């Protein structure tokens, strides 16, 4: 055991977060996201039974967001024609604001298929059991300063 490490972060996930370098991206995917097919060239970490908000909060305690890009946090945009509501995004905005001074300004939206293409180049994808729709979120790592 380690002190001050959120217990939701598995040893495998901690290793991945440590290995990631500046500008590397990690996807925290909902239960409907095709993590295995999108992650053929990435590390896929299973986090079944966990939701995205809990993992997002734990990860942002350790991982700085990139300050060299305008929107280091990306959400999968709702497809035209889908009457989907995304209340989970409000939770994400609150969590991001706790860890990044830019708050909502650090968050952007990416069209669904463009999100998939970017996910294919992510360093890692965390496959969660999140049941909310359009709950996928991508983080771009920044520089760790001490």
Domain boundaries, the chain: 23-140
CA atoms lying within 13 Å on the CB side of residue 36: 2
**Could you tell me the fold of the domain covering 23-140?**
RbsD-like fold (3.40.1650)
Residue 52, pLDDT score: 98
% the chain with pLDDT above 90: 95
- Average pLDDT (35-61) is 97
Residue 90, pLDDT score: 98
Q: Tell me the catalytic residues.
A: 22, 66, 116
Residue 146, pLDDT score: 80
C-alpha 8: how far from chain center: 14
**Cβ-contact 136, 58 below 8 angstroms:** no
pLDDT, tens digit, 9 for 90 and up, residues 103-143: 999 999 999 999 999 999 999 999 999 999 999 999 999 99
What is the C-alpha radius of gyration for the chain, rounded to an integer number of angstroms?
14
pLDDT, tens digit, 9 for 90 and up, residues 87-112: 999 999 999 999 999 999 999 999 99
User: Does residue 38 sit in helix, strand or coil?
Assistant: helix
- Average pLDDT (57-72) is 98
Nearby residues of 98 by Cβ (< 8 Å), 6 or more positions away: 57, 60
Question: How many whole angstroms separate alpha carbon 88 and alpha carbon 137?
Answer: 11
């Amino acid at each position: 055991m380690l002190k001050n490490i959120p217990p939701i972060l598995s040893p495998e996930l901690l290793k991945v977060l440590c290995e990631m370098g500046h500008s590397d991206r990690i996807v925290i995917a909902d239960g409907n996201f095709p993590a295995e097919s999108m992650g053929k060239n990435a590390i896929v970490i299973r986090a079944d039974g966990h939701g995205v908000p809990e993992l997002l909060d734990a990860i942002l305690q350790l991982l700085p967001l990139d300050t060299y890009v305008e929107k280091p946090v990306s959400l999968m945009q709702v497809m035209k024609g889908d009457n989907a509501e995304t209340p989970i995004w409000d939770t994400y905005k609150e969590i991001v604001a706790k860890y990044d001074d830019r708050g909502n300004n650090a968050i952007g939206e990416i069209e669904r298929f463009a999100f998939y293409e970017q996910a294919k180049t992510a360093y890692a994808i965390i496959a969660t059991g999140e049941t909310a729709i359009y709950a996928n979120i991508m983080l771009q790592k920044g520089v760790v300063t001490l």
